[in-house]
Amino acid sequence: MEETVSEIKHNAANSEPSGNQTTHKGLRFWLIIIALIASQFLAVLESFAFSTALPAVIADLHADQFIWVANAYAIPVAAVPPLSGCLAEVFGRRPVMLGSLFLFSIGSIIGGAAQSMNMLVIGRVFQGVGAGGIFSSTTIIVSDLVSLQERGLYGGLLGMSSALSSGIGPIIGGALAHSKTWRWLLYLNLPIAGIAAFLVVLFLSLPTPPGTMQEKLYKIDWLGNILVIGATTSCVISLTWAGEIYAWNSLQVLIPLCIGGVGLVIFLIYEVQWCTKPMIPRILISNRTSLSGYLQMFFCAFIIGNIVYYLPVYYQAVEGASPVASGVELFAISFTLAPISVVTGASVAISKRYRPQLWASWCLMTVGLALLSTVSRTTSRATSIGFQILIGFGAGMGYATSMFPVMAPLPVSENARALAFYTFLRSLSQVVWGISVGAAIFQNRLLKKLPSSFINQFQGASIAYAAIPQIASLPSPLQTEVQTAYAASLKTLWQMLIGFSSAGLIASLLMQKVTLNNELDSKWAVQEPNSQNEASEGSSSTCPHV
């Protein structure tokens, strides 16, 4: 049965000491925020920049299999957030944040020094584990520093960081995509990660929960973590193989996909029904407002993943742009997302409302995607960029505000687990489902649209990308046919995204009007420098100066 918002808050009213608190924003506070922004910037940048430089990396290492370079990063990024949220609750925020930065840096060193594909993949695994921890830790720490009423602006700053790094990532990757320079994509992470870690050590003095190591290990949901990591890994492997190495209807794709899908369902049932110390307790999804927020983030991440991944394909295949130039063409959406995230977050902090912004975001995204679906081979570049801006406005508003319906009905004691699940769904939708489902629709449509004489020149099912470098040298009639086929196939993908945007709009109608709280969980109140070594379970009723 669905619990009402008032019942949830009543049942948890005295679970943790908290009060109406407003954090003073001193220099120490802003240095912590800078550390979090820099950390998230690195984690997002690494994904987008390295994918652009991948051809140069493969050539330099004399390898012919690139798929695991992407998988090694994507799998832990998608699977780790629930575990890192659990660890942050048991061991404390600062150790998990520092551990994530350390693993990310170790991975950068191993990958930068790689002399073989296996060594590079190992480095990418370490980076992915660190990035997954960074994504969840940054949102959790922000929730400890500022109340939900104030959080819009700071969430918007983190969103701006992600948007900027995804926008400039392909350009940086393209600029360093050379056999002698690609390693700097990894080595340049080290000074920034080092500065972020230094600021965290020096200024982030959140309490460390008491208890022996044995007691803390007992509190971790080991079976749940095994289920979610195994199921997510199985899904990522299946969806990455599909259409690239094996056909979509092959056993190599269907078996791990089914295992992963069933595993995720079992994980959710186990967490809600049987687990005694769950990562995802029933309270997180027992009211329709929080459920609406989770669904909206899932749909929004799905849409953005496809736009950012496949819009450059349009510019390269249809407009004839280079990989770096196609990244520049994507600036319109990336640099619309960045400022609108901050502005929308600030509007929530000022108005104490989030539902109007979310409804507006879905309307803008739906209209923008409908306009994008009209783009053809003859559409001007300026027109397509204008459509991007409209989508960027809607997506930026959605990214900045979809957290609020999730958190508003919940007690502050559930911050870590609610935000870890939120981060997990975002990564799962964008990294695992969004890009892979988009690839299936786009490629299947393309194989039907392309001239058979052109298809016969390529081996395997990965023609969607393998054919792009050949388009510029095709004779005029065939070139036009191929470009038209690409534009028409992408149109089908954009139409599919209209359906997801409409589903997001419907999900947003489930939200109830819930007042944003002005509470901080005193269990995680920031300590003064003279009490950094004192463990506290929440004896203070006020938030110290930050």
Segments in the chain below pLDDT 50: 1, 10-20, 461, 531-546
Inter-residue contact 515 to 16 (CB < 8 Å): no
Domains of the chain: 21-209 (1.20.1250.20), 222-276 (no CATH), 285-450+471-514+521-528 (1.20.1250.20)
Which pLDDT does position 540 carry in this prediction?
Answer: 35
Question: pLDDT tens for residues 220-237?
Answer: 888 888 998 888 888 878
Q: pLDDT value at position 67?
A: 66
Is residue 82 a contact partner of residue 134, using CB atoms and an 8 Å limit? no
Q: Cα(45)–Cα(179) distance, rounded to whole angstroms?
A: 20
Give the pLDDT confidence score for residue 115 in this predicted structure. 87
In sequence order, which ranges of 270-408 are alpha helices (DSSP H)? 288-317, 323-329, 331-351, 355-372, 381-401, 403-407
CA 85/CA 529 separation, integer angstroms = 25
Quick one: pLDDT at residue 501? 95
Determine the pLDDT at residue 533. Answer: 44
3 state DSSP class of 20: strand
If DSSP codes are grouped into helix, strand and coil, which group holds residue 352? coil
The pLDDT of residue 355 is 94
What are the pLDDT digits (tens) for 382-423?
A: 888 889 889 989 988 988 899 999 999 988 888 888 888 888
Which 3 state secondary structure label does DSSP give 498?
helix
Q: What is 178-230 written as a DSSP string?
A: STTTTTHHHHTHHHHHHHHHHHHHHH-------S-HHHHHHTS-HHHHHHHHH
| Cα distances (angstroms) measured from residue 250 to each of 246, 256, 268, 455 | 6, 11, 27, 21
The SS3 call for residue 458 is: coil
Phi/psi at 20 (nearest 5 deg)?
A: -75, 110
Total length of the chain: 546
> By the 8 A CB rule, do 53 and 173 touch?
yes
Say what the pLDDT of residue 80 is: 87
The pair of structure tokens assigned to 199 is 């600021």
- Buried/exposed code over 156-186 (b: 16+ C-beta within 10 A; e: otherwise): bbbbbbbbbbbbbbbbbbbbbbeeeebbebb
Partnered with residue 173 across adjacent β-strands are: none
d(CA 463, CA 72): 23
Q: What pLDDT, on a 0 to 100 scale, did the predictor assign at position 473? A: 83
Predicted pLDDT at 531: 44
Two structure tokens written together for 354: 């989030």
Angstrom CA distances, 216 to 17, 95, 220, stand at 21, 14, 7
Nearest CA among 11, 507, 502, 7 for reference residue 291: 507
Residue 55 contacts residue 409 (beta carbons within 8 Å): no
- Confidence (pLDDT) at 542: 35
The token pair that represents 405 in the structure block? 């319906």
CA distance 450 to 276: 55
pLDDT for 495 equals 94
Nearest to 357 by CA among 147, 519, 152: 152
